[in-house]
Structure 1
Amino acid sequence: MVKLMNSSDCDNLKIEINRFIDLLKQIESSLIDFPLTADGCCSMKIEIVDRNEAESVFKSMKSNAIIMLYNFVEAGVRTTMYDYYTYFNNKKFTYSTTILEIKKLWIQHKTKEFKENYITDQVFDMIENSINNEYKVALDFDEDFSLSGNADVREIKTILDRHGLQYDVSQFKDYGGSLRTIKDMRNRLAHGNISFEDNGKGFTLSDLEQYKNQTYDCMKYFMEVVKSSFTEQLA
């Protein structure tokens, strides 16, 4: 089992991202010879020795910030859903008291375990367990949950739908563009389809700030939706 981050780790990721973007702002202000305002981050002094080299590194660093934002999204989704699976299993629901969407996930998981020569017996056992009020339905996060390089708003809504988690579609409408852009850039970088420097040419720090804010807002709402199920869907 791969070790997952907890909520504290995700909070620390936000701190790291904020610190890194603040550094980028300092570098940019040094490159354009325009000092930051009094409320800007001034944790260190940036001295530009070779402007061309500094500009190249600055572009690559912007791409690194995209990787950090994507990792924050994926870590937040995984951690939140792991908490959901843990909470669900601890509640020890029977099949009859489990919502339809989770019943489907459980059936999918059980059928994956079927061995060719024993299918009839295994189907019989599954049916018996589903009508046995003493049998408790359980989900396996490692086996049943998947998120690989696709963490954007579309995937997040699919995850919520698969688990029967209710949400307001309009809450996500403002975040789709930013998260899709982050995912697409991350995948191009990860697969070597573009260099970090060339990728960093395509967006400004203002764009990056918007990506960051919308990512934070999207993940906050996603986590609220899942956590609210602890007192509603899984009560």
Structure 2
Amino acid sequence: MVAELSRAFEERQAEVSTYIEFLQSLEQASRSGIPKLENVDHSISTDQQKILYSSVYLQLYNLVESTITRCLEAVTNAATNSGTLYAKDLSESLRSEWVKGMARTNKELSSDNRFLAAMELCEHLISNRPITVLSITKGGGGNWDDTNIENTTLRVGFNLNISDDVKQGIRRHYRDGMGALSAVKTYRNKLAHGKISFVECANEVTVSDLQKLKDNTTAYLREVIDNFIAYIEGFEYLAPDRRPGNTIGEQELNPT
């Protein structure tokens, strides 16, 4: 799963790149007059171009959310596929996520159902049953930006380490005083909820602007993926004394 993170990301971002290349060709053609598709009489209007431009926000947000979803799935898969696992084996952060899932703290429940969930968690711990299912509440909910991503990594159990150049790129004002990911999130949500038209969304936006937005977004996401891979390969989802190479943990797990 870890090896798939980068591969899947590059495939997804290549789709956005291909689309922007098409927009570049369209913009270049418009400089010589109203662009037209080959062998088609209908011309592409300025408003139609703007509609095409606005779609980049949707594609980039899809890339952001799919990347974080895959990263979180990679963490849970690594943990549950690492052999028989008990609550005490998890890092404190991931154990908290497991408790939230078992106790269903992120769901609206009646008092009776809340009690049943608490009893199920209690029985699991008393019986010392191994963990077979581990889920990390994704959150986000249409609001993925660099702040939410950083908060999620803290919840999982590590500080996101982003290089200065990439950090500056993602926070550099792109439009309306917003950085790259904030802009992607904001315009995607406005489009999705009908608060702005596709034509309005692309007013005074060039393909060059969209290319820079895409470059800053993908550079940031690549480093996010690298951070998750380092976290998984370092077995940081396990309690410190349970990680491979820790002699105390190994002696307890494999007593002579």
Give, as a single letter, the amino acid of the residue that structure 1 aligns with 2:86. Answer: T
- Match in the other structure for 1:204: 206
> Runs of 5+ in structure 2 lacking a partner?
106-111, 172-178, 238-242, 244-256
Superposition deviation, residue 101 in structure 1: 0.7
Which consecutive aligned stretches of 4+ in structure 1 deviate over 6 angstroms post-superposition?
44-51
Give, as a single letter, the amino acid of the residue that structure 2 aligns with 1:225. Answer: N
The normalised TM-score by structure 1 is: 0.79
Classify 1:69/1:139 alpha carbon distance in 2 versus 1 (closer, same or farther; 3 Å): same
Which whole-Å CA distance do the structure 1 matches of 2:29 and 2:55 have between them?
Answer: 19
After superposition, residues 1-235 of structure 1 pair within 5 angstroms as 8-33=7-32, 53-91=44-82, 92-112=84-104, 115-116=113-114, 118=116, 121-122=119-120, 124-129=122-127, 132=128, 135-136=130-131, 138-140=133-135, 144-168=137-161, 171=164, 173-174=167-168, 175-176=170-171, 177-232=179-234, 233-234=236-237
The normalised TM-score by structure 2 is: 0.73
> Runs of 5+ in structure 1 lacking a partner?
35-43
Superposition deviation, residue 197 in structure 1: 0.8
Q: Indicate the SS of the match to 1:230.
A: helix
Which whole-Å CA distance do the structure 2 matches of 1:16 and 1:160 have between them?
Answer: 26
Question: Is this contact kept in 1: 2:5–2:70, CA < 8 A?
Answer: yes
Which whole-Å CA distance do the structure 1 matches of 2:30 and 2:77 have between them?
Answer: 49
Question: Is this contact kept in 2: 1:30–1:46, CA < 8 A?
Answer: no
Classify 1:117/1:146 alpha carbon distance in 2 versus 1 (closer, same or farther; 3 Å): closer
Q: Indicate the SS of the match to 2:187.
A: helix
Instruction: Report % sequence identity.
Output: 19
Question: Is this contact kept in 2: 1:27–1:46, CA < 8 A?
Answer: no
Which whole-Å CA distance do the structure 1 matches of 2:119 and 2:193 have between them?
Answer: 45
Larger mean CA deviation between 188-197 and 14-23 belongs to 14-23
Give, as a single letter, the amino acid of the residue that structure 2 aligns with 1:29. Answer: Q
Which whole-Å CA distance do the structure 2 matches of 1:48 and 1:119 have between them?
Answer: 62
Which whole-Å CA distance do the structure 2 matches of 1:120 and 1:112 have between them?
Answer: 9
Which whole-Å CA distance do the structure 2 matches of 1:135 and 1:78 have between them?
Answer: 25
Classify 1:116/1:50 alpha carbon distance in 2 versus 1 (closer, same or farther; 3 Å): closer
Question: Is this contact kept in 2: 1:31–1:48, CA < 8 A?
Answer: no
Superposition deviation, residue 185 in structure 1: 0.5
Which whole-Å CA distance do the structure 1 matches of 2:49 and 2:8 have between them?
Answer: 27
Give, as a single letter, the amino acid of the residue that structure 2 aligns with 1:140. Answer: S
Classify 1:48/1:193 alpha carbon distance in 2 versus 1 (closer, same or farther; 3 Å): farther
Give a deviation string over 1:148-188, Cα, whole Å, max 9, x none: 21111011111101100232266563214101001100000
Classify 1:10/1:121 alpha carbon distance in 2 versus 1 (closer, same or farther; 3 Å): closer
Give a deviation string over 1:179-211, Cα, whole Å, max 9, x none: 100110000010111110111114222221111
Over the aligned positions, Cα root-mean-square deviation in angstroms equals 3.0
Which whole-Å CA distance do the structure 2 matches of 1:117 and 1:167 have between them?
Answer: 36
